[in-house]
């Protein structure tokens, strides 16, 4: 592997709510990174299952891990925004508290961004079940990503996104219940023109039976809300984007692996 030209601080943004079954493995996947100049900001959304205490124990052992608890339950958008507010890194990377990174994720992705003079990147990722076993499904990427392309479909898996941030002009997510990561990346790509996909699988997305992102109707409603109320796109084009989003998801987005 080529050597990085410089070693910027990467802020890892991790919202958590009642993920005591998985949060240890998530944190361990960050601790196992070959790239070491990172800070992990875990924002707990008033968990009552012990996951906050688990994260706190890790923070006592490694000063790069910062754990903050919200005053009351506010949802993932508020948690991500608080983490962004506290972040000190030149780069932001996102990892929910039930997902995993492969050990070379940060190093390879940062090198890819350096080589391509790229300010926003995302990678392939595979799906795993609640027990961490692969289910033979991997998300594809597109090579170049712009704001306009992202309107057609959310090509970015949140757990794979990394981008440069302006510490003096941080960008925050709209405070909505679902698809708030998508709304955030739309805002970012309005300011960052050279988004790119990195064709290597560097993360594992956990499919849980009670996952909010699995509630299809609420995702469709949230998608339309983002188009109409946040992006200010009329109902005709918003519906068109919704249809293309579903078509891409069904017929293109995933490749199915054979054992």
For the segment 153-171, what is each residue's pLDDT rounded down to a tens digit? 999 999 999 999 999 999 9
Rounded average pLDDT over 11-16: 98
Per the structure, the complete domain to which residue 46 belongs is given by 10-256
Nearest to 92 by CA among 102, 82, 84: 84
**C-alpha 92, offset from chain centre:** 10
- Residue 4 counted as domain residue: no
- Residue 3 counted as domain residue: no
Number of structural domains the chain divides into: 1
- Residue 157 counted as domain residue: yes
Rounded average pLDDT over 211-236: 87
Report the pLDDT value the prediction gives residue 194, as an integer from 0 to 100: 85
CA distances from 48 to 17, 28, 44, 135 (A): 8, 21, 10, 30
For the segment 119-154, what is each residue's pLDDT rounded down to a tens digit? 999 999 999 999 999 999 999 999 999 999 999 999
- Residue 2 counted as domain residue: no
Query: What own/partner pairs with CB < 8 Å and gap ≥ 24 does 254-259 have?
Result: 254/137, 254/138, 254/139, 254/140, 255/137, 255/138, 255/140, 256/136, 256/137, 256/138, 257/126, 257/134, 257/136, 257/137, 257/138, 258/136, 259/136
Report the pLDDT value the prediction gives residue 120, as an integer from 0 to 100: 98
Q: Give the CATH number, domain containing residue 197.
A: 3.90.550.10
- Residue 5 counted as domain residue: no
The SS3 assignment for 205 reads strand
Residue 258 scores a pLDDT above 80: no
Q: Are 160 and 203 in contact (CB under 8 A)?
A: yes
Rounded average pLDDT over 88-109: 98
For the segment 191-216, what is each residue's pLDDT rounded down to a tens digit? 987 899 999 999 999 998 765 555 78
Q: Which residues lie closer than 8 Å to 53 by C-beta, 6 or more apart?
A: none
For the segment 41-73, what is each residue's pLDDT rounded down to a tens digit? 999 999 999 999 999 999 999 999 999 999 999
- Residue 1 counted as domain residue: no
């Amino acid at each position: 592997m080529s050597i990085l030209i410089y070693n910027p601080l990467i802020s890892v943004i991790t919202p958590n709510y009642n993920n005591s079954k998985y949060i240890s493995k998530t944190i361990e996947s960050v601790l196992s990174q070959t790239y070491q100049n990172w800070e992990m900001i875990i924002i707990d959304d008033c968990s009552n299952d012990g996951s906050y205490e688990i994260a706190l124990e890790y923070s006592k052992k490694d000063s790069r891990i910062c754990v903050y608890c919200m005053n009351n339950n506010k949802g993932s958008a508020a948690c991500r925004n608080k983490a962004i507010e506290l972040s000190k890194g030149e780069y932001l990377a996102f990892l929910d508290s039930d997902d995993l990174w492969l050990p070379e994720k940060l190093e390879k992705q940062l090198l890819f961004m350096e080589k391509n003079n790229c300010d926003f990147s995302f990678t392939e990722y595979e799906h795993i079940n609640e027990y961490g076993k692969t289910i033979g499904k991997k998300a594809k990427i597109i090579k170049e990503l712009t704001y306009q392309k992202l309107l057609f479909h959310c090509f970015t898996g949140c757990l794979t996104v990394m981008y440069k941030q302006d510490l003096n002009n941080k960008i925050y997510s709209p405070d909505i219940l679902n698809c708030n990561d998508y709304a955030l990346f739309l805002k970012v790509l309005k300011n960052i023109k050279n988004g790119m996909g990195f064709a290597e699988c560097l993360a594992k997305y956990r499919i849980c039976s009670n996952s909010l992102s699995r509630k299809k109707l609420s995702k469709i409603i949230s998608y339309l809300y983002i188009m109409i109320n946040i992006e200010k796109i009329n109902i005709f084009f918003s519906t068109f984007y919704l249809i293309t989003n579903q078509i891409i998801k069904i017929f293109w987005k995933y490749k199915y692996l054979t054992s």
